[in-house]
Structure 1
Amino acid sequence: MTYDEEIENTRNIYISKPIRCIALALALTYYFRLPTQDDNEQRRDNKTPTREKLAEILSQYISDFVFIIQNELERFVNTNHFMIPHSVAVNQAIREHIFSIVVCICTRTPLCIIGAPGQSKTLSFQIVLQNLQGSQLSTKKFCKRLPSIDPFFCLGSKYTRSEDIAYVFERAIKREQHYEQNRINTRCVVFLDEASLPDERKMVLKVLHPYLDECRVAFVAVANKAFDAANANRMVCIYRSLPSEEDQQVLAYGCLGLEINLQQSRYATTRLEKIISGLCQGYRRILTCPHIPQIFHDRDFIYMLRELRFDLPTTTTTSDDQTTAISGITPISLLHALEDNFNGIDKVEFKELVKIFFTSVQEQCSDFQLPLEEENHQIYRNIPSILRESMKLDSIRRRLYGRYKLIVDESEDESAMNLLLQLNILNFDPNRTNIFRMSDFAGDLNNELRNVEILSIIKLCMETGKTILMVNTGRIHGSLYDVFNQNFSIMATGDTRKIFSKVAIGPKTIDVVVHEDFQCIVHIKRSEFKEIPAPFLSRFQKYSLSINDFYNIQLQKLPQNEQILLKTIEQKASTFIQHFGRQYFYGFNENTLYSFLLSLIKANENGDHYLLSPNQYYSQLTIKSKSFIEQNPADINQCWLRSILSKLMQLVSPESIILKLPTFDGNMARWLCTNYFHQQEHFSIENFIQQLISKPLIDRDNSDLTEHITIVTKVMIFTRTSPYIIGLNEQSTDTLFTNYNNNEKIDLLNLVRVSLHIFSKKIECKVFQSLLATEKGT
C-alpha cells in the first residue's frame, strides 16, 4: 500500500512496508473483531477479550502496534483522500469502516461490520461508493488509483429468503465476469444491509457459504449482531464498539458543523465546550438509566445535534462570529430538539430524560436552565403540536434533521390514526395523503402479489410528493429500510436536482425518485413495540399518542364551565367503574372512558370547541335508551353521566349485571336493569345485527332527532361459545338470519377465537373481526 506522498517523496520516512502490512492484516483479521475495554465495561462484559489485551500481546512482537494502526487509519481516511459530507464527523468509526470496506473490496475479501443502529455502517459504504468512481470520474487523486464499484443491493428483513440473496449474487457474478473479460477495472460488490434481520430459524444466511468461500465478487454486510460462527469464520468482521467519550465529542462537533480544534475566544470556547460535553455526557447516561426505555440510539443523538445546529444563526463567516452563534444554544432549543428526537415514551419518562440531559449540561454550565412553567405559559409542547410543526418543516430543514415519523398508538383500535386526521395533522385529501392498511386475514399474510401492489403505489407516492400513512404494514417494512433511513442519492444537472432511494421489490432492489415533499408516517401499536427491531426504531422520530392525552388537550380548549362539567362526569363515571368492578367490562382499558368523553367534544367551522347536547349523541344502537338518559332533560350533568353509563353497560355480561345490581341503591338498580334488559340487546346476535343495519325507529316525540342520529358501522361483539356461534363459518347468511328479509345485505367476513379471563375462569369467546356485519357495497 503506497500513498501519493510516498510516490512523490522517494525518501523512506515511514515504517518499513512489510511491518505495516502485517500489522494492518492482523488488525483487520483479529484486532477490529474485538470490543474495546470501555465497551465491555458499559455492557458489563467480563469474559470477552478486548482490543487492549490483544494489542498488549502483539506489541511484544510489533512495537507500537496500536500507533501503527491508528496512524495508518488517519493517513488513509481523511478529507484529502475522500469526499466526506460536511455534516459527517470523521471519527474512529468512520475511519475503521471506510478503511476496511476499501481494502476488502479491492481484495474481494468478504466483510461484515457489526454494531448498534446509527453507528455509520451504511453511511460508510455510501461514502466509499460515492468516491470510488474509477480513474475518470473519481474526484480525489487517491481514489483514481482504486477500482470503481458496481453495487448490488440486498435489503435484509425477516421476510428475506435464501433465493433472494442467491439471485443478487448470481447477477453480480455474471456482471463481474463481463468486466474481467473486457479488462474493466471495476469491482462488483454485493451489499447486504440489515443482515441480522432475516429469520435465523429458517437458516436464510446459510446460502452465503459457497459465495463466501469462492470470493468471486466482493461482499459487504452490515448487521446489529454477530453472525453465526459458520458465516463469521468466512469473513473479516469489524465489531463497532460503543463510542468512547473522546470519539463522541468528535461526533458532536462534526454534527454541529465545527472543527474540534476551532480557535475561539476564551469565554465562547469555554461555554461551547461545556455545553457539548454536557450533551455527550447526558446521552451516555440515558443509555444506562434503568428508568428510561432502551429505545434510543446514536442516530437519535446525531439528529438532535443536527437540529440544534440548524436552529442557530449562521449569518457570519468569521470563526469568532460563528463561535458566538453556536454558543447561543438555548435551553428551549435543546428541549425542542429532545421533544423531536427522544420521544415515544410516556410523560414521566420523558421528563426524567430531559432532567438527565439538563443536569449533565448544568454540571458544566450552571446557568443553563429551563424557565419555570406557568399556567398560561407551558414550556413542554404536546405531541400534536410537535407533530404538526415537524410535518410543516421546509424541504431543507427536513432533509437535514427531519426524519420520518413513527406513531406509537397506546390503544389497540388504531385510534391514534383517527386523531391525526381529526387534528388536521394529516390531510383528508386523497391527492395529498394515501393511507395503506394490510390485513391479517390468512389469505393476505403470504400474498406476495398484494405486497408488490402496495409497494408500487408507495413508489408512486414517493415520486409525486404525497404523505403516506402506513398501518399494520410490517410485512413490507424491510423493502423500505433504505427509504426510512433517508439514504438518498442526489443527481444534479444544472438547475435540476433529483433525489433517489432504494426500494426492494422481491429479490430486486430498484432506485426510486423521492420528491422533496414526500413524508411518511408509520403507525404501530404499543403492544407490538417490543417486537420492533432496533434498526427500524432508530430511523424514525418516535411519538406516543393516546386517547387520554388527546382528550386532555381538547378539554383545555373548552369554555371553563364545560371543562368543570366534563371533569365532574369523569370523576363520577370513574367511581361507577370502580364500584362495579373494572374486570367485568369486556375490552375495557385505560382509554375506554376517555374515548367516551372525547366523543362529546366537537369543533365548529371557526375552530371553537364546544360540548354536544345530549340529543346530538344518539345512534341507532342507543336511541332506545333516550328515556333512561334524558329522564331529567334540564339536568345536563345527569344526562351526560347516564349516557356514559349506558355505553359502559353495553360492555357487561348478563351474569355481571345480575351479580352487581344488588350493590346499588333501589332507584339506580332499577334504572340500570331497565336500560340493560329492555333498551339494549344482549341475548341475540341476529336481533342485534338487525338493529345495527336497520333504519332507526323514531317515535313522534323524538322526530326532531332524526338528523342528529349517528349511524354506527363498525362494532365488535363478545359472545359465549355455542353450537350457533361455532357454526357461523359453516352456514350461509340465509340460514343464520332467518327472520330478516334483506339478508343479502349481510356478509360474514371472518371469525376468530380469543380467550378472556372473566370471573377468574377462562371463557372461550368469538370475536367478529373487521366489519362484523356490513351492508354490501358500503
Structure 2
Amino acid sequence: EIQRCFNLIDFFWTMSYNEDYNEPNPIRCIALSLALIYYFRLPTKEDNAQRNDYNTPTREKLAEILSEKIPDFAQIIQNELERFVNTDNFVIPDGVAVNQAIREHIFSIVVSIVTRTPLCIIGAPGQSKTLSFQIVLQNLQGSQLSKKTFCKCLPAIDPFFCLGSKYSRSEDIAYVFERAIKREQQYQQNRIDTRCVVFLDEASLPDEKKMVLKVLHPYLDECKVAFVAIANKSFDAANANRMICIYRSLPSKDEQKILAYGCLGLQTEYEHKNINKHLDKIIYGICQGYHRVLSNTNIPKIFHDRDFLYMLRELRFELPTTTTDDEETSINTIKPISLLRALEDNFNGIKQKEFQELIEIFLKSIEEYSPNFSLSNERRQEKFYRDIPTILQDSLKLDSKRRRLYGRYKLIIDESEDESAINLLFQTGILDFDPKRISIFRMSDFSDDINNELRNVEILSTIKLCMETGKTILMINTNRIHGSLYDIFNQNFSIMATGDMRKIFSKVAIGPKTIDVAIHEDFQCIVHVKRNEFKDIPAPFLSRFQKYLLSINDFYRIRLQKLSRHEQIILNNIEEKILSFIQHFGRQYFYGMNDNTLYSCLLSLIKINENEEYSLLNLNQYYTQLTIKLKSFIEQNP
C-alpha cells in the first residue's frame, strides 16, 4: 500500500487534470493519494451510526488525524472531487445525480484505469457502482471520439467484461485476463493510447469455498492491465491487499436529497434559482420518509436505494412538466395520488397493513414540511389503493418506452406452497396462456438436476432466445441460474443506434462464459419465489425487482368486494361457519389443510361472465345435481 501510494503521488504530480493548476501542488498530490489508498476505504460516521457499528474507524477520524499534517484534509479532497467530476468534464446521463457516490466512483475508476492500479468498489445494492463504470466507459473514448475536452486528454478504454456467478471458474477469469493482456500488448506495439480493463461485476457471487478468485493474485501483482471489480462485500485479505478498496457508505440525508433532485430531472441548484419552495419541501419530505421506512421495525427489511431511485423515476416521467425559456423541462409539483401510485409499484411485496403503514410514514414525513400534502385533498370518490393483481397487471401493460425509463422486472412472492398464485394469475388473465407470448421455466430439486450444469446451460440458452424474440418468461424455482442473469435483472443495457435502428444488448453468464445478448424491447421477466424462501434471497437480487406478495386469500378478498352486498353477506356467513366447524373438530383432523384451503374453496364459488361481472354460483343447483348423482350410490350402499 505504501508503494502504491507513492506511485499515485507520482501520477498526480505529472498529471494536470484541471487547467487551473499550472504547477504541481505536492500537498494536493499527497492528499489525493492518501484518500484513494486509505480515506475512501473507511465508512462515514453517519454510515456507522445507521449500521449500529461503533467500532470501525471512520473517515472523519482519519481526516482529523491527517489534518494535523495536512490542514483541512477533508475539504481538500472534496474540492478536488468536485473539480474532477462535473458536467464540464464528463457527459452525465439525464436523470443521474452527480452526488458523492458518483464523484468518488468516477474519480477512483479513472485514476485506476490510467495508472493500471487494481480497484474494488464495495457497497450495498443501488449505490451507482456499475453505473459509474458505464459513465466512464462512455466518456473515455480517446482524443478523437471523446465529447469533453477533459476526456480527450485521457486514454480510451477497451473493456473486457466478466460477470461473476456461482458457476464462475478460475480458468475462465484467467482467460479474460489473458485476452486483455494480449490486446494491451498490441496497443503498446502500435503506440495506440488505449487501456484494456478487466471489469468483474458481481464479484461477491463466485463460490468462496472453491477459492475461484485466488487466480487474481498474479494478475493483480503484475498490473499489466487495469482491473475494476464491483462487489457487495469485501474481498478476502489476500486480494484486498493487492487493490485499492473503495467502500461506499450509505448516503446521508443531504446526499439523498441530491440523488432525488437528479432522478427527478432537477438541477441541484434548483432550490436557489426557483421560487417554488413547495416542491423542494415535498422532495425533502420524501427523502425523510424513505429513511424512516428503512429504520421502522414494523416494515420488513426488503427495500434498498434502487427501489427509491425507480420510485423517483416514475414520479418524474408520470407527472406534468413545464418548459422554461431555456427549453428545459422540469416537474412543477408532486401530487399525493402520484406518489401513492409510485409507491405501489416500487415499495410493495409486503402485507397490506404493512404497506398502509409505509404510506402513512411517507405522507406524515411530507406533511411536516408541506401541511397540505394529503390524500384526503384528492377527489374523495376515487379509489385510492389498487389491489395487488391490478398493480401487477398495469405494470405489465406499460409500453416499451415507460418500461425502459422506470419499469423493472417482477418478483412474485407466493404465500402458498403449491404455486397457487401463478395459477390464479393465468386464470384471471393477468398472464397469457399463449405459448407464443410466454415461456415457463421450472427447475426441479432432484439431486441429479441440481448438479446438472448442462441442464442449466440449456435453460439459459432457451431464455436467451426468448430475450431476443421479445417473449415474456416466467421463472419458477430457478434460483440456481439467477446469478447468470444479474445484468439482465439489473437492466444493465448497452444501446447501439444507427439511424432509425436501435438495438439493446446485455450480458449473460452461460456456464463459465459471459456473452452479449440482444434484448427485444418487448421482453419481460417474471420470477416466482415462495414466501418461506424469501428470507434467503440475497439483497442484490431482491433490489432489482418490483415485488408483489400474492396469496389465494388476496384474490378471494378482491373478488368478494366485487359481489353485491347480499352475496358478500352470504359468503361471509359461509366463511364464519366453516371456520367455526374447523375450530370445533380441530384443524389437525383435516388432512392436507393449510391457510389457503378454505379461501381456495370460497374462491371457486365466485364466477365471472363474459362482461367481467362477478356473481355467486347457484349453490342450490349444484347441491341438487350432487344429490342426484349420489342417489343411486346411497341406495346401493345404505
Residue 53, structure 1, aligned to residue 58, structure 2: no
Between 1:251-260 and 1:575-584, the stretch displaced more is 575-584
Which residue type is aligned with residue 311 of structure 1?
E
What's the counterpart of residue 391 of structure 1? 396
- Determine which of 588, 611, 624 is the counterpart of 1:583: 588
2:326 and 2:411 map into 1 onto residues whose CA distance is: 38
Quote how far apart the aligned CAs of 1:425 are.
1.4
CA distance in 2, matches of 1:110, 1:249: 32
| 2:405 is the counterpart of 1:430 | no
Q: Give the Cα separation in 1 of the matches to 2:417 and 2:463.
A: 25
Do residues 129 (structure 1) and 137 (structure 2) align? Answer: yes
**Residue 339 of structure 1 pairs with residue 347 of structure 2:** no
Q: Please tell me whether residue 282 in structure 1 is matched to residue 289 in structure 2.
A: yes
Change (3 A) 1:470 1:616: farther
Q: Please tell me whether residue 538 in structure 1 is matched to residue 546 in structure 2.
A: no
Structure 1 residue 375: deviation in Å? 10
2:358 to 343, 353, 356: 353
- Name the CA shift for 1:587/1:238 in 2 (closer, same or farther; >3 Å): farther
Q: Does structure 1 residue 569 correspond to structure 2 residue 593? A: no
Match of 2:332 in 1: 326
Q: Distance in 2 between matches of 1:238 and 1:63?
A: 23
Q: How does 1:120-519 map to 2 (within 5 A)?
A: 120-262=128-270, 269-318=276-325, 325-327=331-333, 329-371=334-376, 377-519=382-524
Q: CA deviation at 1:583?
A: 3.0
CA contact (8 A) 2:471 2:523 kept: yes
Shift of 1:701: 6.2
Deviation of 1:233 after TM superposition, in Å, equals 1.2
Q: Is the 8 A contact 1:187 1:217 kept in 2?
A: yes
Cα distance, 1:374 vs structure 2 = 11
Matched, 1:65 2:73: yes
Match of 1:30 in 2: 38
Unpaired stretches in structure 1, ≥5 consecutive residues = 618-625, 634-697, 703-778
Distance 1:195-1:265 versus aligned 2 partners, 3 A rule: closer
Distance 2:193 2:224 in 1: 15
Deviations along 1:59-78, one digit per CA (max 9) or x if unpaired, are: 11112211221111111111
CA distance in 1, matches of 2:213, 2:632: 72
SS in 2 for 1:219: strand
Kept after mapping to 2: 8 A contact 1:411/1:525 = yes
Q: Deviations over 1:744-777 (max 9, x none)?
A: xxxxxxxxxxxxxxxxxxxxxxxxxxxxxxxxxx
Task: Look up the equivalent residue of 2:488 and give its one-letter code.
Answer: V
Question: Mean Cα displacement is larger for which, 418-427 or 201-210?
Answer: 201-210
User: What amino acid does structure 1 have at the position aligned with 2:448?
Assistant: G
Q: Is the 8 A contact 1:264 1:320 kept in 2?
A: no
Q: Secondary structure at the match of 2:376?
A: coil
One-letter code aligned to 1:63: P
CA shift digits 1:116-144 (9 cap, x unpaired)? 10000000011111111222222222222
**Residue 82 (structure 1) shift:** 1.1
| C-alpha separation in 2, matches of 1:207 and 1:253 | 42
Note if 1:101 corresponds to 2:109.
yes
Alpha-carbon displacement from aligned partner over 1:624-671 (angstroms, at most 9, x marks no partner):
xx89x956x8xxxxxxxxxxxxxxxxxxxxxxxxxxxxxxxxxxxxxx
Instruction: Give 1:316's aligned amino acid.
Output: T
Deviation at 1:567, TM superposition (A): 1.7
Please tell me whether the aligned partners of residues 474 and 526 of structure 2 are also in contact (alpha carbons under 8 angstroms). Answer: yes
Deviation digits for residues 501-542 of structure 1, max 9, x if unmatched? 111112222221111111111111111111111011111111
SS at match of 1:192: strand
TM-superposed deviation, 1:259: 0.8
- How far residue 376 of structure 1 moved from its aligned partner, in angstroms, is 6.7
Q: How many residues align?
A: 620
Distance of 1:79 and 1:376 partners within structure 2: 46
Per-residue deviation, 1:147: 1.8
Contact 1:109–1:218 (CA under 8 A) maintained in structure 2 = yes
Moved more, 355-364 or 596-605: 596-605
Task: Determine the C-alpha separation between the residues in 1 that align with 2:272 and 2:139.
Answer: 33
Query: For each residue in 1:555-594, what CA deviation from the matched residue of structure 2 results, as whole angstroms up to 9, or x when unmatched?
Result: 2233433322222221111111111222333443221211
Structure 2: tracts of 5 or more residues without a match: 1-11, 634-638
Any runs of at least 4 consecutive aligned residues in structure 1 with deviations exceeding 4 A, and if so which?
9-12, 263-266, 319-323, 372-377, 613-617, 698-702
Contact 1:265–1:320 (8 Å) recurs in 2 = no
Cα distance, 1:11–1:198 mapped onto 2, change above 3 Å: closer
CA contact (8 A) 1:84 1:127 kept: yes
Cα distance change on mapping 1:573 and 1:318 into 2, 3 Å: farther
Contact residue 416 and residue 546 of structure 1 kept, 8 A: yes
- Give SS of 2:276's match: helix
C-alpha RMSD of the superposition: 2.4
Instruction: Tell me which amino acid in the other structure corresponds to 2:72.
Output: D
**1:238, distance to aligned residue in structure 2 (A):** 0.4
Assess, with a 3 A threshold, how the Cα gap between structure 1 residues 453 and 526 changes in structure 2: closer, same or farther.
Answer: same
The aligned residue for residue 556 of structure 2 is: 551
Identity of aligned residues (%): 73
TM-score of the pair, normalised by structure 1: 0.76
Secondary structure in structure 2 of the residue aligned to 1:20:
helix
Q: Structure 2: how far apart are the matches of 1:490 and 1:144?
A: 22
Q: Which amino acid aligns with 1:129?
A: L
- When residues 149 and 17 of structure 1 are mapped into structure 2, their CA distance, relative to the original with a 3 A threshold, is same
